[in-house]
Chain A
Amino acid sequence: MNDVALSLQGVGLSYRKLLSPSRSAFNALHDVSFDVLRGETLGIIGKNGAGKSTLMKVIAGIVQPDTGRVVAHVDRVQLLSLQVGFMQELTGRENVILSSLLLGMRRKDVEQKMEQIIAFAELADFIDKPLRVYSSGMRARLGFAISCQADPDLLIIDEAFGVGDMDFRKKSRAVIEQRMKTMRSFVLVSHSESMLMEYCERCVWLDGGTVRAIGKTSDVIRSYAAG
């Protein structure tokens, strides 16, 4: 049994336009290496433009780095993205199926979990109406209920993970906190030092596309605050 869920090895990525006359490139990530362990919640902190969102996309397998490797030892690595692939014209129920299929679930499993999803989203009366009549809060609830069911092995969370009104925010937070106690791994990307202190034992400080520090959250945050 390997303790490492996912490992980044010397990852580098630069943005350059294909066929662009200038060869100038913007280095978004340079030689980034660290491991995400099984069952841990790893924090990532860094200023705007430090390469956090590019890093998230590399971890989630959305883009391939130019140099280095991302080695995943678990099956499903996903960004927590709500309302994936939602279509305005479809009903809530149809969107549940479409979105869940995109998130990697099988059709028959979605059908089985349908009632659970509807109950969690608190949308019993609206589920067969087209999405365009939903309020933004209703959409957010439905989106969260679906991604809860997807349950990947490694989930990357960007900033706050509560959605909807006060009550639903509590409920959604509770689900994620519950998951954090299992062997699933999380990567939490945040500006909020208090949030990282609360959830993460280890933290990575990303600065200018490179890893400035990695280690115990309190230590990393202290040096981050010192600049």
Chain B
Amino acid sequence: MVFGGCLLMIRQYFELLTYRALAELKRDSSGMYLGMLWWVLEPVLYMLVFYVVFGVGLKKGGGDFALYLLCGLVPWKWIDSTVRTSSGAIIASAGLMRQLYFPKWLLPGYVILANTYKFLIIFFLLVVFLLALGVSPSASWVWLPAVFILNLLFVASLSLVASAFVPLIPDLRYVVSYGMTMLFFMSGIFFSVSELGEPVKSWLLWLPTVLIIDAYRSVLLYDQTPHLSAMLHILFPSLLLFAFGAFCLARLDRYYPRVVG
């Protein structure tokens, strides 16, 4: 009886989560003349900027620098925009929270899901682009789902933690914002971490973002299976952070309406 009730509730929240995530995407593109085209245009323009600055302007890297850059930027954009938006998700729903009860993990949940939909579309375009430029699919591509799931877990874990703490200490919003900017420069998106000197190189190789981006590149560009140790190195901290974030959101579930807004 209790179990059946729980199951019903989970299905109910799942329906809400998926519907609201799609609504979020619709909101992004409504009122624009180009509508949904912006989901694609926005990241493409973003990547173009980096390509012009680092590829053409600074003449960095070899001929395949564009591909190298794109394989880093596409997953990075997913991580970055999800964590930033999630950090404000609970505050943004202050009004709704005071009208009725709902589990607060839904709020970062909408953001994570909506951004994952966007990522999948853009990732598909990236693959099309790679194929068009003559990269041939190899056996290593079967690892893509595993890399994707690890990346999703990492995105979700950071987003849950950010969304749980920012409402309590609003100043953290700046910390999250600067933290993400710092992470961008440390994650080897427009350079290769392995070319750096010691000890910086071994420090940066601890960052899950470095390992995630590296895994995408190994699989897509270098026909290599990702290192198991790197995968575990992403998995364990993400699982811990995820559990911590979920625990905090559950504990503070009926406390947020008192402090927010």
Listed in ascending order, the chain A residues whose CB lies under 8 Å from chain B are 15, 17-19, 57, 60-64, 78-79, 81, 84-85, 87, 89-90, 94, 97-98, 101-104, 106-107, 130
Query: How many pairs of A and B residues are in contact by the CB < 8 Å rule?
Result: 68
Asked whether A106 and B15 contact (CB < 8 A) given A19-B169, A61-B254, A89-B26, the answer is yes
Main SS of chain A's interface residues? Answer: loop
Further contacts, 19 of them, CB under 8 A, given A98-B19, A102-B100: A19-B168, A57-B98, A60-B101, A63-B255, A63-B258, A64-B254, A78-B100, A81-B100, A84-B100, A85-B96, A89-B23, A89-B30, A90-B26, A90-B27, A98-B20, A101-B15, A102-B16, A103-B100, A130-B30
Instruction: Give the shortest distance, in Å, between A99 (CB) and chain B (any CB).
Output: 10
Contacts of B98 in A (CB 8 A): 57, 62
Contacts of A102 in B (CB 8 A): 16, 96, 100, 102
- Of residues 26 through 64 on chain B, the ones whose CB sits less than 8 Å from some CB of chain A are 26-27, 30-31
Residue A62 contacts which of B26, B27, B254, B259 (CB distance < 8 angstroms)?
Answer: B254
Query: Taking CB as reference atom, which chain B residue is nearest A95?
Result: B23
Main SS of chain B's interface residues? Answer: helix
- Of residues 156 through 172 on chain B, the ones whose CB sits less than 8 Å from some CB of chain A are 168-169
Q: Can you list 6 A-B pairs with a CB-CB distance of less than 8 A? A: A18-B168, A85-B96, A90-B26, A98-B19, A101-B15, A102-B102
B101 x A61 contact (CB < 8 A): yes
Instruction: Give the shortest distance, in Å, between A61 (CB) and chain B (any CB).
Output: 5
B258 x A101 contact (CB < 8 A): no
Chain B 79-118, CB-CB to A under 8 Å as 1, else 0, gives 0000000000000000011111110000000000000000
- Of residues 2 through 32 on chain B, the ones whose CB sits less than 8 Å from some CB of chain A are 11-12, 15-16, 19-20, 23, 26-27, 30-31
Contacts of A101 in B (CB 8 A): 12, 15-16, 19-20
Residue A81 contacts which of B23, B99, B169 (CB distance < 8 angstroms)?
Answer: B99
B257 x A57 contact (CB < 8 A): yes
Complex-state Cα separation, A104 to B11, whole angstroms: 11
B12 x A62 contact (CB < 8 A): no
